[in-house]
Structure 1
Amino acid sequence: MSWLFLAAAICCEVAATLALRMGSRPGGRPAWFAAVAAGYLAAFGLLTLALRAGMGIGVAYGIWVACGVALAALASRVLFREPLTRVMGLGIALIAGGVLLIELGGAH
């Protein structure tokens, strides 16, 4: 169940971040900031549930960060036509690799 909570937390966090981008665009509507607040509140609540369900903070936060960075970068490329260069892709891969090492290290 902890993985389900974490996945939902990541989705809420990415949605809130994208809403923040929408609200901060020229001509952006202030209503987007309500979605930002609700998304981040839901994300932290769901992360808390993942931790209560037994997931370690190092693993949970590492996966949260790696998935959040990757999904936000991909979504911003699709939705806002922001750049996604090879160097940025390498950075995302390095983050994912670091999280994998943390996960493997925590398995002992």
Structure 2
Amino acid sequence: MPYLLLAGAIALEVLATINLRLSEGFSRLVPSVLVVTGYIGAFGLLSLVLKAGIPVGLAYGIWAAAGVALVAIIGAVFLGDTLTPVQYGGIALVVTGVLALELGAAH
């Protein structure tokens, strides 16, 4: 269950971050509301994940890495951002680092 909450926190954070760009400096109402509610929801769910006992380094690492990777990919696919091969490699390294955190954690 905590990892389902973490997935929800990641989804809300990605939604909020993408809408931060679409809000055009908070000049558009709907994306601006989605930014604020998305971040509040993301942090609320993240706090429940931590309360459930997932270590903060692991939870935050997964949350941050997944958010960075998803936002970069969504930006490239849907918003016209470009990603270089080096940036793709960086995304892979971030994901690998989080996997190392998980695999190295004492269970």
TM-score range, shorter-chain basis?
over 0.9
Partner amino acid for 1:67? A
Partner amino acid for 2:91? I
- The corresponding residue for 1:38 is 37
TM-score (norm 1): 0.91
Q: How many residues align?
A: 106
SS in 2 for 1:49: helix
Superposition pairs of residues 66-81 of structure 1, within 5 angstroms: 66-81=65-80
Alpha-carbon distance in structure 1 between the residues aligned to 2:49 and 2:81: 32
Higher deviation after alignment, 10-19 or 76-85 = 76-85
Q: CA deviation at 1:86?
A: 0.8
- The corresponding residue for 2:7 is 7
SS in 2 for 1:66: helix
Q: CA deviation at 1:103?
A: 1.2
Structure 2: gaps spanning 5 or more residues: none
Q: CA deviation at 1:90?
A: 0.5
Structure 1: gaps spanning 5 or more residues: none
Partner amino acid for 1:2? P
- The corresponding residue for 2:18 is 18
- The corresponding residue for 1:106 is 105
Q: For the aligned residues, what is the CA RMSD?
A: 1.4
Partner amino acid for 1:85? T
TM-score (norm 2): 0.92
Any idea what the Cα deviations from partners look like across 1:63-98, whole Å, max 9, x if unmatched? 001100110011111221100111111001111111
Alpha-carbon distance in structure 2 between the residues aligned to 1:24 and 1:64: 25
Q: CA deviation at 1:24?
A: 2.0
- Percentage identity across aligned positions? 50
Alpha-carbon distance in structure 2 between the residues aligned to 1:30 and 1:4: 30
Structure 1 runs of 4+ with >6 Å offset: none
Q: CA deviation at 1:31?
A: 3.2
